[in-house]
Chain A
Amino acid sequence: MIALDLTAKSFGATQVLGPMRLRVEPGEVLGISGPSGAGKSTLLRILAGIDRRFEGGLEAPGRRAMVFQSPTLMPWRRVIDNVTIPTGATTAEAAEMLARVGLAGLERRWPGQLSLGQARRVGIARAFVGRPELLILDEPFASLDAERIEDLLALTAALIAETRPAVVLASHAEHELATLATRRARLDGRPARLIEDQRERVRAGS
């Protein structure tokens, strides 16, 4: 479970996020939409524990994982090490998860030898291998073609159903939000507020 009770988040004199409360239970996927520049990434960085300079309180579990807008791999470490080093997973666990995301046989490659789609899959393997209690997805499928997004969406949905973390997903793509989210909210305004969508949609098994 993650609970954020935010009073304000400012950059210098400019307040970017207004007061907001947010709770996500294990197995829930909160999908956040909103215009570019509204502060989605800022909010996600606060939830992930990257940005601690805000007014308010955050209750978050210890096992966190994040899938970033860019794959954010260590280009000087091989694919398998990119999964084991940040997460502490064993080589066997990492290899199994890489196979699961369709990258069997590519463990010894360097990230620079991967396509963008493959690099994103490494990022997803890294996120799920430690069975996170909190998972942040920040535009995880950006700049992929529709066919690849479909594959990755199905894969991500399956992995979420298995590991049941509390998930916060930020995306511009209605289709991604509709497929993955169990709850929807919109971030908008200046400073931005979080407006929960009341038409709650209940997914099977959650």
Chain B
Amino acid sequence: MSSVARTGLARTARSEVPKPPSLRGLFRVLASLAVLVLLWAGLSALLADPLRAPGPQQVLPALWQGIVSGAILPDLAATLRRVGLSFVLAMAAGTAAGIVLGLMPRLDRWLDPWLTVFNTIPALVTIVLCYLWIGLNESAAIAAVALNKVPLVTLMLREGVRVLDADLAAMAQVYRMGWLARLRHIVLPQLVPHLVSAARAGLALIWKIVLVVEFLGRSDGIGFRLHLDFQVFDITGVLANALAFVAVMLALEALLIAPLAARAARWRTQ
């Protein structure tokens, strides 16, 4: 690769980095969310049907009640545990498979159609099959969620391995770097952007699937609460439970994934 292309690479990489959040940006996000809540309140007031179209004035107290009474917390914890376990499983399996396929183009040409098939199978089918094959238990629930995500992670990591820099690999070879040093200093830093994208996309996918898994075959978790609310036609309850979980997942993204991603990208931003 010529030096011109190398500089070009560095420049594109830098422009892709999101700017660090500013106070003004935070204010804009809060204002935007406040407008959304106001719209919701306005619509609900217009419809004047608190049973079928509850407004924030009904949902927020219900949510608050669930939190202070502690009623929602064990279910929130159960769902989070399932999200965490299946996330770790899917990332590990998908990353390993992606690296193998990326390194072995011949194997990849054979297995690529499988990946397309598995990626196309609807989440619901995987869930039902896991419950039927493994049983209505926790292992089946976690396996179902993880399996849904593995093909996506595999695809994203395979792409990352395919574009690994050949010049840097040659450099590592000339200087006889050990395989552990190569993995740590040459390969993984190049895979970080792909790992972060896979983690983000995966988390968003997983927490939606976890609720379906709980709805269909678990007796705790937010999905189970939604099932109960559904049976008694409690729309306020559905919205309160959904809101609680959305808030937790957004916090997870902002407090855990975003700082980790920013740290891994600091060489680009300076």
Task: Give every chain B residue within 8 A of A128 (Cβ-Cβ).
Answer: none
Q: Does B16 contact A (CB under 8 A)?
A: no
Q: Contact residue range for chain B?
A: 20 to 34
Q: Does A66 contact B (CB under 8 A)?
A: yes
What total count of A-B pairs have CB within 8 Å? Answer: 77
Chain B nearest Cβ from A40, distance in angstroms:
15
Is B267 touching A87 in the complex (CB atoms < 8 A)? no
Q: Tell me the bound Cα distance from A69 to B1 in angstroms.
A: 8
B3, B168, B189 interface centre (most CB from chain A within 10 Å) = B3
New contact pairs (10) apart from A50-B173, A71-B3, A110-B270, CB-CB < 8 Å? A62-B176, A64-B174, A69-B2, A72-B6, A72-B168, A75-B13, A85-B185, A110-B267, A112-B14, A112-B267
Q: Does A136 contact B (CB under 8 A)?
A: yes
Q: Tell me the bound Cα distance from A113 to B10 in angstroms.
A: 10
Q: Does B181 contact A (CB under 8 A)?
A: yes
Task: Return the contact of A113 from the options B3, B168, B173, B270 (Cβ within 8 A).
Answer: B270
Q: Does A152 contact B (CB under 8 A)?
A: no
Q: Tell me the bound Cα distance from A206 to B171 in angstroms.
A: 29
Q: Tell me the bound Cα distance from A110 to B3 in angstroms.
A: 17
Could you give, for residues 96-139 of chain A, a 1 whenever the CB lies within 8 Å of some chain B CB and a 0 otherwise?
00000000000000111100100000000010001000001000
Could you give, for residues 44-75 of chain A, a 1 whenever the CB lies within 8 Å of some chain B CB and a 0 otherwise?
01001110000000000010111011111011
Residue of A nearest to B7 (CB): A116
Task: Give every chain B residue within 8 A of A65 (Cβ-Cβ).
Answer: 174-175
Could you give, for residues 1-26 of chain B, a 1 whenever the CB lies within 8 Å of some chain A CB and a 0 otherwise?
11111110010011000000000000
Task: Return the contact of A70 from the options B6, B173, B185, B270 (Cβ within 8 A).
Answer: B6
Is B177 touching A72 in the complex (CB atoms < 8 A)? no
Chain A nearest Cβ from B84, distance in angstroms:
28
Which residues A9-68 have CB closer than 8 A to chain B? Answer: 45, 48-50, 62, 64-66, 68
Is B177 touching A86 in the complex (CB atoms < 8 A)? yes
Chain A nearest Cβ from B187, distance in angstroms:
11
Q: A65-B175, A87-B175 are in contact. Are A70 and B189 (CB under 8 A)?
A: no
Residues on B facing A (Cβ under 8 Å): 1-7, 10, 13-14, 167-168, 170-177, 181, 185-186, 189, 267-268, 270
Q: Does A3 contact B (CB under 8 A)?
A: no
Task: Give every chain B residue within 8 A of A77 (Cβ-Cβ).
Answer: 185, 189, 267
Q: What would 26 A/B residue contacts be, using CB atoms closer than 8 Å?
A: A48-B174, A64-B174, A66-B174, A66-B175, A68-B170, A68-B171, A69-B3, A70-B2, A70-B5, A71-B3, A71-B6, A72-B168, A74-B185, A74-B186, A75-B13, A85-B185, A86-B171, A86-B175, A87-B175, A110-B270, A112-B14, A112-B270, A116-B3, A126-B175, A142-B2, A143-B2
Is B3 touching A76 in the complex (CB atoms < 8 A)? no
Task: Give every chain B residue within 8 A of A62 (Cβ-Cβ).
Answer: 176
Dominant SS among interface residues on chain B: helix
Chain B nearest Cβ from A17, distance in angstroms:
18
Is B175 touching A64 in the complex (CB atoms < 8 A)? yes
Task: Give every chain A residue within 8 A of B268 (Cβ-Cβ).
Answer: 75, 112
Residue of A nearest to B270 (CB): A110
Residue of A nearest to B190 (CB): A76
Q: Tell me the bound Cα distance from A69 to B268 in angstroms.
A: 23
Q: Contact residue range for chain A?
A: 20 to 34
Q: Tell me the bound Cα distance from A45 to B270 in angstroms.
A: 33
Question: 4 smallest A-B Cβ distances: which pairs?
Answer: A86-B175, A76-B189, A70-B6, A70-B3
Residue of B nearest to A64 (CB): B174
Task: Give every chain B residue within 8 A of A126 (Cβ-Cβ).
Answer: 175
Residue of A nearest to B6 (CB): A70
Residue of B nearest to A142 (CB): B3
Chain B nearest Cβ from A60, distance in angstroms:
11
Is A70 touching B1 in the complex (CB atoms < 8 A)? yes
Task: Give every chain B residue within 8 A of A70 (Cβ-Cβ).
Answer: 1-3, 5-6, 167
Q: Tell me the bound Cα distance from A163 to B78 in angstroms.
A: 64
Is A136 touching B167 in the complex (CB atoms < 8 A)? no
Q: Tell me the bound Cα distance from A50 to B176 in angstroms.
A: 10
Which residues A71-94 have CB closer than 8 A to chain B? Answer: 71-72, 74-77, 85-87
Is A50 touching B14 in the complex (CB atoms < 8 A)? no
B6, B174, B270 interface centre (most CB from chain A within 10 Å) = B174
